[in-house]
Structure 1
Amino acid sequence: MRSVPARVFIVTTSVIIALGAVQYRSAVTQMKGATFHDQKSDDGKYIARYAYLPRNRIALRLYRATTAELLAERVYRYPERIRLFWTEDYLIYDTSAEGDDGEIELPPSWWDRAKAKLP
């Protein structure tokens, strides 16, 4: 027989995994039917693709223009139409965000590139 803390841990972990799977499936379904629009960086090195999702959310993907490699991806809440600002070092997608939450470093960090490879 398992102890009570072990059972609580197993149940809690199972619930978290199940909720994560439901949320992931919902996000994939919404992205599948989304219409993406392109905007090229001023220097032509990158392409930003964005789509409007339900509940005032925006899906943003950053690609390398020459190879079409996905470099970074964000899904965020924004009540207005998207406004992208390209600088030499950043793609700024949310000017109301605090700190560096509303931007993607150019070139994207290894962490952004690694997360973009996940399904």
Structure 2
Amino acid sequence: MSETLTLWRPTGPKELDLVRESGWRAWPPRLPDQPIFYPVLNEQYAIMIARDWNVPASGSGYVTRFAVDREFAGRYPVQQVGGRDILELWVPAEELDEFNRHLVGLIEVVHEFHATAV
């Protein structure tokens, strides 16, 4: 059995609906203006994006957790995009189908945030 790498993905409601339609087994294709799929390596960073970006943009934000084959994930160098804990993998959109084939288990929602009515 191969080792896995746990990753998180801050997700809006539309993307989450597509993940649900896949049976929680795959990430949907990227939109034309989204050349990179970027899961993150830190749960706190994913929470920050889901809460502070997805909620204002779409009313809800979710943090998902999933595992990918560690050896396969090693082809994507870790990108530090801010502070020392702001880490992402950058998966080119055209490689997302192959990336999905290396997921281990199901994608699961571990946190959710919603806009509060005023």
TM-score by length of 1: 0.24
Give the number of the structure whose alpha-carbon radius of gyration is greater: 1
Tell me the TM-score normalized by structure 2: 0.24
